[in-house]
């Protein structure tokens, strides 16, 4: 004999309904219909994070040489990253690498490399030879 809990939380009710074929179709349809509402918020969030990073890099003083990094530092790092990715793709055709950009700013005066920490909104010296997360 099957025993049921007389007091089921509403989440359990919804979860048991979503696993039915009709529930899955309705769930996917609701998700697709909500995409035009979700995507602007997601892209706005990404744009805002990018602006925050650029502002932090532009305001930071290089700990190595004392010069202000400026927006040029981010451009130099992005160019170097793009070049490394193109090189990686050329040397490993057909392989999709999971590589993260760890250098977000390079001082144009002394070449010091910095990594942006999004949670702390801070720049730290990038460790040498770290191109992937462990
Ligand atoms: Zn410097």
Number of domains observed in the structure of the chain? 1
On whether residue 64 sits in a domain, the answer given is: yes
CA 63 to ligand 1 centroid distance, Å? 7
CA-to-CA distance for 134 and 131, rounded, in angstroms? 9
On whether residue 4 sits in a domain, the answer given is: no
On whether residue 2 sits in a domain, the answer given is: no
Give the global pTM: 0.69
On whether residue 25 sits in a domain, the answer given is: yes
On whether residue 5 sits in a domain, the answer given is: no
On whether residue 134 sits in a domain, the answer given is: no
Residue 27 structural domain: 10-125
CA 90 to ligand 1 centroid distance, Å? 31
On whether residue 91 sits in a domain, the answer given is: yes
3-class DSSP assignment, residue 124: strand
- 102-117 mean pLDDT: 94
Contact 104, 57 (CB under 8 A): yes
- pLDDT tens, 49-108? 999 999 999 999 999 999 999 999 999 999 999 999 999 999 988 888 888 888 999 999
Residue 74 burial class via C-beta count within 10 angstroms: exposed 0-12, middle 13-18, buried 19 and up: buried
CA 98 to ligand 1 centroid distance, Å? 29
């Amino acid at each position: 004999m099957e025993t049921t809990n007389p007091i089921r939380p509403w989440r359990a009710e919804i979860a048991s309904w979503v696993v039915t074929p009709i529930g899955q179709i309705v769930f996917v349809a609701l998700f697709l219909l909500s995409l035009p509402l979700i995507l602007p918020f997601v892209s706005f969030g990404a744009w805002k994070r990018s602006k925050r990073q650029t502002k932090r890099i532009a305001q930071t003083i290089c700990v190595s040489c004392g010069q202000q990094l400026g927006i040029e530092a981010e451009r130099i790092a992005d160019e170097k990253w793009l070049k490394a990715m193109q090189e990686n793709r050329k040397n490993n055709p057909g392989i999709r690498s999971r590589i993260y950009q760890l250098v977000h700013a390079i001082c144009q005066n002394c070449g010091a490399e910095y990594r942006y920490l999004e949670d702390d909104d801070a720049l730290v010296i990038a460790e040498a030879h770290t191109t992937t997360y462990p």
